[in-house]
Amino acid sequence: GAPCPPLHPRTHPPSVRSRTMGIVGKVVNAKQVETAAAVVKKATAASAPAAPAAAAVPPEIALYMRGAAWLLPQVADVAALEVVVARGEAGARAAAMTALAAVKGGTDIVAALVAAHPGHETVAARAAGELLGCLVASEGVKVCGVLKAAAGNKKDMVERESAYLASAAMCAFGGHAVEPWAVAEVVPLLLGGFDDAKEEVKLAARAGAKAVGHALSGRAVRLCMASLYPALESTAKPKVKIAALNLISALCADKPEGLEYELPDLIPLLIEALSDTKAAVQDAATVTLAEACGLVRTPETVKLMPLFLAAITHPDSMTTKALEALMDITFCNALGSDSLAILVPVMLRGLRTGEADLTKCACKAACNMLELVASPEVLMCFNDRMIPEFVKTENHAYPEIRELGVKSMHDLRTGLIGAETLAEQRTRAKAGKEEILSAFASYSNAASVPPVAVAFLASLASGEVSGTLSISQNVFSAHELEAATRKALHGALDEAALTSLSAHLHTAYAGTYHRKEMGEEGGDEDDNIVNLPNIICGFAGRVLLRRATFKLERGQIYGLVGQNGVGKTTLLTRIVQRDIYGFPPELGCHYVGCHELEAYQELPDTVMEFMQGACDATGCDESVIAVALSAAGFDDRPDLLNMHVSQLSGGWRMKLGIAKSEMYSRDLLLLDEPTNHLDHSSVLWLQEYLTKLAASGITICIVSHDYNFLAEVLTRVINFHQLKLAYFKCGFNAFQEQNPHIVAGLPHVNKSKFSDSAAAPEVDPAAIAAAAAATAVTPMEGAKSKEASAAGPAAAEPAEPVVQQSLAGDGFLPIVFPDPGKLDGIRSRTKTVMKMTGVTFKYPSATTPQLTNACCIVTLASRVAIVGANGAGKTTLLKLIVGETDIGGGTFEKHENLRLSYIAQHSMHHVEDYLDKTPVQYIMYRFQEGMDKEMAKFSTIQLSEEEKEAKLAPNAVNDVIGRAARGGKLWYELVLNGRKKDDNKWEPLQFIEKGPAYVLKLCRHYDEKLKAQQSGMEVRPISTIEIKKHLYDFGIANGLEDGKIKRMSGGQKCRLVLAAALWSMPHIIALDEPTNYLDNDTLAALTKALIEYKGGVVTISHNAPFVEAVCNERWTVANGEVLCETFKVKRSKDYFDKKKGGSNVGSSADLASMVSGDSTTNLSSLGGSMMGSSADLAGLEISDKAGKKATKVPKKK
């Protein structure tokens, strides 16, 4: 392709320049800016023509009119104006005719133009500028001679000022015909204006520079730098440097397209000027650097710009922060030379430092950055500066830095493969220029073409650059040269001459050195609502996509599938931000996913208040609220409308999110794990809802691990494969049948990820098989696949024959739960350790109780699945059991030394406040006081503000410091206010329960402290070594434990949450929807760990295969009642039978053997999909342990 990436419409937030200026030069030149503003105001007031009092003339328009009024009388004679009338475009011809009449009548030209447009000074200024542009095109030597003479008049300040104002007017409205003269004559002229002693002249020159930067095309503005780079050399005089810096700052003010490609040459010169011996040069360089950085177009780099500018100006204190921020941001736009021009100097500064940590951070940033470039040619700009530093790191004293240095060098050399070197680019540009000049020289009427225009066109079309580090753009093709020639010579030649010259160039210029640009290959473009070529996806040092194409067709349902950690959710979240190059700005896009639902649990609004707020935000009619709620199924549960959003179950929160999406303009709906928290009937509703939505023309893109759900709704599949996106025009079943090799590519047990493979626990083949079954889901019996109406096997795009393990994948890493040990007084695992009797609970805003007369028991051998419809009260029951919510009525008994861990429905919220910490720091902070800080937040333990005040009252209980068993009852040692140090009071628990509620909370808090000690805190210190050993058992090792949590993938964060919850070695584990947001590997590992766990398990799950594998008891929550039953599951013989003969478990070949043959139906013997199956648990065979009919648990044992 072309050396430079294609130009895209650049969106610069208004605050970018102000933010960068605020960091690097908050007080730089403040007095000069104030003075300049006053001068502009004074000049405008003195020179502005008379105008109606109601309409104020813009300052720049008044300046342009002044310049035109000075220049036109000197160059606009009758002959010149008649040429403009004959050759100019409509606007210039009209202005020339008005001026011609004024000249013949002896009146002022500008006054005549103002009179021709009464009350529209801007229109008059434009007419004057267009007239000047045509005069320059036809009489360029004469016009530029007048400007030079006036600008060189040292005795007349007004003459000099007028010359620069005239240049500004000419360039602002003169069109493409002015470009050859602006580059060759005007820019060198303006450089002298910035060096003028008079402030008025400097302001006029600045206006001219801004006009040049605003009006010139991208390639033309790059040619202007030929006059400015010499003035920035170290040998240049300070006054010349300041003038050049100010001129560049003015050129950059309006962000001219194309000038950003000069940053590889410009930024090093500006950084050097920051260290100049003259303070004035430093100040000018600081301002210019901020303006130049505003040219960067990559949104991700724009976000980092304040930090990197601070790192450039204050390298000692800000380099580390800038590099760490670079590692934390998600990239979806490829890095061009403009971004690297800012990032590379900071990275090189980190590599050159003597600090090992900073060098290591810089190496990691380099490895990440090298993978995200737009094209190999981009790296050529920085190749010579980076290689010496990478060579040094290869010989560093620290092994880790040496490894990173070797990787950086490898990535750089790999990235340069196939790239055209800078020397080759310059040679090609030079040869192309010679070919263009030869074509013009062979024209029969070559003398009629202005030499300035010929030289300009030769430099422009050849991609010539002035610097030594910037990329040379592609040489023009014959067609492009003809078009550029017509624009540049319009007005200089008449139409007949232009036609003759174009015909000559068509035959004389072959475009020998033009490189043909390779277009993107892909499917048809029929009704694509999104087509984003050359996107990337990188985060935390990992590359997820490299130069891929993302496209979506209207009215289709797409499923994003692939290995865990390949970036499916990351891509969705970036699409909804709408900042990827080429994303249609008018496209309505809405996202419903896990991140949004986690935010719902903190909302105090009721459902109706929430929807009303969304209505106000979108500006839609209030009648839409009822329609949206009805579409989401709230008609069946009107009692939920006045309930707080935070009190809704996970399933109803998901439905509420979908209802909210109805209020937005949706051309594209993005769903992230939509079946999480949904029961079977709700999944069926969602399938029907999405099918109708797609039929109405809305495109839907889904990320889900519920493959049975995907098999029912998808019409297209997008597979993440080898850092690319592969498209399949079929449903999910056909995709699986045609690509069984994808099943063989599932992550498997990879003991090599740990240094000590012998210490890694043995993996149950059943878990491997279950994980394989998850991806190779069998077609549901009787299901009507959506691909039935689509094209058959031939419609699927060909896939690669082999699927390799993704670089971003975690691999199958086992999970090992710690042994909880014995519980005091409990000799049998079947003895009751928790008991709930006659418990009734009602939320404050609810009209009816959520639970009524609930009874249940838990033992150390319990494997309980809590099931029921969405909103039935499953999570409420679990919160009552773990103590997060206090019971409203009834009794709840628990062994005083029972250790319990709870993983909430939205478990990710446990780590959201610690994203900048490492996993080791997170666990250390969470348990540094002995007990779990997450458990201490429970309302049954944490004191309210009123209770904190109550315990400070005279003679009130202030603390609990002891516990003892006396006569079979628990007594607590209480500290009372006003008593001496050892004068404490002992009271039995039954008395405390009748007293102030906060005292019972203090007792519970003390119980948790004792449990923490008994879990091994005294023999298992909260040290780095001990925590790393614990994290190792959960697959968090090899440097991951020392990296920031924000850089972990979703599956890794789930493992961290599990590891933290199991640190206290609990006797009972309570899990609320543990299969949600888990990838295949983590779920398979979790299932095996729970099966082998020696404590009790209480879980909520809609995933039948997961419950089948783990549980032997079911609590059904319905109509406020809890029905406790045991069940026996019919499993195939192979489900738990281990393979004999020491087979190579987990290998790709082993996994492939599971899907041998022409179909994947043999996987049905594994018990269904491990991930996301929403089959109704009612299908399980029910019985109790004695074969008797199941009944409610009696109130008394």
- Give the pLDDT confidence of 190-227 residue by residue, as tens digits: 988 888 889 999 999 999 998 888 888 888 888 999 88
| Max avg pLDDT among 66-80, 607-621, 667-681 | 66-80
479: phi then psi, degrees, rounded to nearest 5: -65, -45
Query: Is 218 within 8 Å of 256 (Cβ atoms)?
Result: yes
Using 50, 70 and 90 to split pLDDT, how confident is the model at 562?
confident
Centroid of chain to Cα 513:
39
Residue 927 has pLDDT above 90, yes or no: no
Look at 1144 and 553; give whichever has higher pLDDT. Answer: 553
Instruction: Give the residues across from 1124 on adjacent strands.
Output: 1115
Euclidean distance between CA atoms 494 and 497, whole angstroms: 5
The residue with greater pLDDT, 960 or 1159, is: 960
pLDDT of residue 776: 35
Q: Is the pLDDT of residue 1009 over 90?
A: no
What is the spatial distance between Cα 869 and Cα 677, in angstroms, rounded to a whole number?
Answer: 10
Q: What is the pLDDT of residue 1179?
A: 35
Q: How confident is the model at residue 32 (pLDDT cuts 50, 70, 90)?
A: very low
Stretch among 218-227, 478-487, 1017-1026 having the lowest mean pLDDT? 1017-1026
For the residues 77-104, what does the mean pLDDT come to?
90
Report pLDDT for 70. 93
Percent of the chain with pLDDT over 70: 79
pTM for this structure? Answer: 0.67
How sure is the predictor about 639, in pLDDT bands with cuts at 50, 70 and 90? confident
Q: Helix, strand or coil for residue 1016?
A: helix
The rounded distance, in Å, linking the Cα atoms of 181 and 455 is 11
- β-strand pairing of 957-966 with 969-976: antiparallel
* Per-residue model confidence as pLDDT tens digits over 972-999: 888 888 888 888 888 888 888 888 888 8
Share the mean pLDDT of the chain. Answer: 78
pLDDT (0 to 100) of residue 1172: 36
pLDDT at 1155: 29
Take residue 547 and report the two structure tokens written for it.
Answer: 């130069």
Three-class HEC string of 398-413:
CHHHHHHHHHHHHHHH
- Between CA 245 and CA 266 the distance in angstroms is 10
Is pLDDT of 1148 > 90?
no
Q: How confident is the model at residue 613 (pLDDT cuts 50, 70, 90)?
A: confident
3-class secondary-structure state, position 1068? strand
pLDDT band at 592 (very low <50, low <70, confident <90, very high): confident
Whether residue 46 is predicted with pLDDT greater than 50 in this model: the reply is no
Highest mean pLDDT range out of 462-476, 603-617, 919-933? Answer: 462-476
Q: Kindly indicate the confidence band of residue 1136, based on its pLDDT and cuts at 50, 70 and 90.
A: very low
Tell me how far apart the alpha carbons of residues 1008 and 110 are, in angstroms, rounded to a whole number.
Answer: 88
pLDDT at residue 741 tops 50 = yes
Asked if residue 754 has pLDDT above 80, the reply is: no
Q: Is 1099 a residue whose pLDDT tops 90?
A: yes
Whether residue 792 has pLDDT greater than 50: no
Q: Contact, 381 vs 304, CB < 8 A?
A: no
Sign of CA dihedral 178, 184, 186, 191: positive
Helix ranges restricted to H, 728-862? 732-738, 741-744, 765-775
Please write the tens of the pLDDT for every residue from 126-170. 999 999 999 999 999 999 999 999 999 989 999 999 999 999 999
pLDDT for residue 521 is more than 70: no
Q: Which residue has the tokens 């509620």?
A: 997
Residue 760's nearest CA partner among 804, 812, 810 is 812
Q: Residue 284 has what pLDDT? A: 93
pLDDT(1171) > 90:
no
For residue 552, report the phi and psi dihedrals to the nearest 5 degrees.
Answer: -135, 135
Rounded CA separation 819/804 (Å): 36
Q: How confident is the model at residue 1129 (pLDDT cuts 50, 70, 90)?
A: low
For residue 1073, name the pLDDT band (cuts at 50, 70, 90): confident
The region of weakest confidence among 244-248, 554-558, 635-639, 742-746 is: 742-746
**Model confidence over 250-262: pLDDT tens digits?**
888 877 788 889 9
Task: For residues 830 and 1113, give the distance between their C-alpha atoms in angstroms, rounded to a whole number.
Answer: 13
Instruction: Write down the pLDDT at residue 1189.
Output: 36
The answer on pLDDT for 569 being more than 50 is yes
pLDDT at residue 525 greater than cutoff 70: no
Q: Which residue has the higher pLDDT, 138 or 650?
A: 138
Percent of the chain residues past pLDDT 90, beyond the cut = 25
Residue 564 banded pLDDT, cuts 50, 70, 90:
low
For residue 1160, what are its two tokens?
A: 């994947």
111 φ/ψ angles, rounded to the nearest 5 degrees: -65, -35
**Whole-Å CA distances, 901 to 384, 881, 882, 1012, 1116:** 56, 11, 8, 12, 22
- Per-residue pLDDT at 33 exceeds 80: no
Distance between CA atoms of residues 577 and 574, nearest Å: 5
Gap between the Cα atoms of 333 and 535, Å rounded:
6
Distant-in-sequence, close-in-space partners of 106: CB < 8 Å, separation ≥ 6:
none
